[in-house]
Amino acid sequence: MDPQILMMAGTLLVTGIVTGYAAGLFGIGGGSIMVPVLFFIFPFLGVPESILMHCAVATSSAVIVVGSVRSVRAHHQHGAVDWNLLWPKNPLESWGLWIGAGSLFAAWYLGKVLSGNQLSLIFGVVAFIIGLQFIFGRPNWKLRDNVPGGLALPIGGGSIGIVSSLMGIGGGALSTSLMMMCAMPIKRAIATASGIGVFISIPATIGWIISGWDVPGRPEFSLGYVNLLGFVFIALSLIFVVPYGARATHKMDQHKLRRVFGIFLVLVALNMVRKAL
């Protein structure tokens, strides 16, 4: 086999291991790791620059489906997921519903409108802000005493879905911070965020497949913008690692870990902004 393909496969497998552990540990989908790696790898598959970011974001979204499902199941075993928040008896009061609607809209419609540089810039700016929150955010700082409902559902939920879908992330960093600012304990917020990743990633993957269906220049073995080669290699390693990260959440010092991850995210974000500009 071509040594370049072997090296690429090895890189994707390692990416899956790191992403899976991060997904369980932080309640994130791991897109903040996957997207930059795929952005670097896909040119070796002949992906043109104009759709490079689209393919990276879309493939990351597909992998997040696997990671989020595994992560939420692992956290559910600890009884830590707030299912009433994600899917109450009245679906219109569900954060999951509105987040999913925003995610589908972004991938299906905005995915056709935005250029690769614009997607890279969105990723870089938002990732930079999230990184700063991870580094400097105070877990005891409260905006209110509970997670809001009413108009906050379509506005806040839709916004989280749109931004997360365009970045190829599971929304864990955004939703975890929001829930913690609404007085939810950090471990419960992390666990519930893993469920939010399911509501983001499935609609996003469907939307990216539809919006990229007839686009020329996509690599082989692709459904729309989703590259199945990247999906399989990352998902294979990720699926076995997520539960270990979820278990570690309940044992490790989250605040120190968040700072380390935040520094990593800021550096990645600055690099993406540099390339976009």
Residue 24: the pLDDT is 64
d(CA 160, CA 257): 23
State the burial class of residue 101 (Cβ atoms within 10 Å of its Cβ: 0-12, 13-18, 19+). Answer: middle
Chain-wide mean pLDDT for the chain? Answer: 84
For residue 28, is pLDDT > 80? Answer: no
Residue 158: the pLDDT is 93
Q: What would the mean pLDDT of 128-142 be, rounded to a whole number? A: 77
Residue 27: the pLDDT is 55
For residue 115, is pLDDT > 90? Answer: yes
Residue 254: the pLDDT is 65
For residue 270, is pLDDT > 70? Answer: yes
Say which range, 15-19, 122-126, 166-170, has the weakest mean pLDDT: 15-19
Residue 252: the pLDDT is 65
- pLDDT, one tens digit per residue, over 213-246 is 989 988 888 999 999 988 988 888 877 776 777 6
- pLDDT, one tens digit per residue, over 145-185 is 778 778 888 998 999 999 999 999 887 777 877 887 787 88
Residue 1: the pLDDT is 55
Residue 106: the pLDDT is 97
Q: What would the mean pLDDT of 111-119 be, rounded to a whole number? A: 93
The pTM for the full model equals 0.86
- pLDDT, one tens digit per residue, over 33-74 is 889 888 888 887 788 999 999 999 999 999 989 878 877 887
Residue 145: the pLDDT is 74
Say which range, 97-106, 118-127, 131-140, 186-195, has the weakest mean pLDDT: 131-140
- Cα–Cα distances (Å) from 252 to 25, 187, 222, 247, in that order, read 9, 11, 39, 9
Q: Are 60 and 238 in contact (CB under 8 A)?
A: no
Q: What would the mean pLDDT of 93-98 be, rounded to a whole number? A: 89
